[in-house]
Structures are given as structure tokens and as C-alpha cells.
Amino acid sequence: GVQLWEPSGFTTENGESINRMQCDFIPDWDVSNQAVYDVFVPPSGSFVTVPCVNGEISPLRNCGFVEVAVESEEGEAICELGTAVNPAIPESFSYPLIIRVCERSASLGIGVACTFTNSLVNTVVASQSESISFACPQMRDSEELSGGYALYVSPLNPED
């Protein structure tokens, strides 16, 4: 058969009708199509920077991280695209430590608190004497080829 379309009742920014597939709705089809949830949205960061609440202990977890202020000559985590970066980790953290490197947003001027899957680097450092190194990544949403990153850390055991 031929698919038929009908106006959905919604319009685009230009006022054009948004169509949907034509169908015969059963009575009360939309009775259960609504839900309300209370969610916590941190003032900065993401769910990655919210404390872990379910006993997560893996370096692959996506909670319990804090952003580390990184200083460069420009005063923030800016670097020359592709060059080696060896950030210093403050001594105030408990080791072993998970270090996660994430993108930095040029538009927002802040780091993007990333998940393990989206991280540029995610590694465990056993002591202050260890270091990490990575190539300076391109900033997200940058109109120029500029580099920057964000550094997040968490104790390997969140209870430390």
C-alpha cells in the first residue's frame, strides 16, 4: 500500500506543518504517554561529577569525578594542537587515582565532563610520582584549530 501522511499539529520554526503517518487511534491511546521525574542537574559538570551512590568502584565508572584546575601560559587548559601534554596532578588527592581527560568546549570555555566511553584518556595512577602524557586534542566546537582539554580525577576507591 501507499503510505498516507497527515498534519501532526506541530510546525517547524518557519511555520510549515510537520506531518506524521496517518493512522486510526484507539480510544485513550495517549492516556499513559506522560511521566514526570525529579532529576538533579548539577550547576557545573554532569552526572560524571556527581558522587557515586550505588557502590561503583571501577575505573570505568561514570560518577565521583572532580575537575582539576589546570593552568597553562594562557591561564587555563589550553595547549597547542597535537603537542604532548603532561599535566601536574595536585598532591591533595588520595592515591591510587583515576585520571580522565575530556574535551574542552571552546564556546562554553569549560571542560566537558565526559563518560569513560567518551574520554580521551582514562587511566589509574598509583602514586604522585607517576605521570600521564597525551596529545593535545582539538577543542570541541572550535572554529579554529585550537587545542584544549579538561582533567577529571577520582580516587580508585570512592570512599578514600
DSSP designation for 32: T
Distance CA 100, CA 63 (A): 12
Q: How many domains does the chain have?
A: 1
What count of Cα atoms within 13 Å lies in the side-chain half-sphere of residue 81? Answer: 8
Q: Quick: pLDDT tens for 110-151.
A: 889 999 999 999 999 998 888 899 999 998 887 777 899 999
Q: Does this model's pTM top 0.85?
A: no
- Residue 98's contacts (CB-CB under 8 Å, 6 or more residues apart) are 59, 65, 122, 123, 124, 125, 153, 154, 155, 156
Q: Quick: pLDDT tens for 13-57.
A: 899 999 999 988 899 888 888 878 887 777 788 899 999 988 888
The boundaries of the domain holding residue 130 are 1-160
Distance CA 48, CA 91 (A): 22
SS3 47: helix
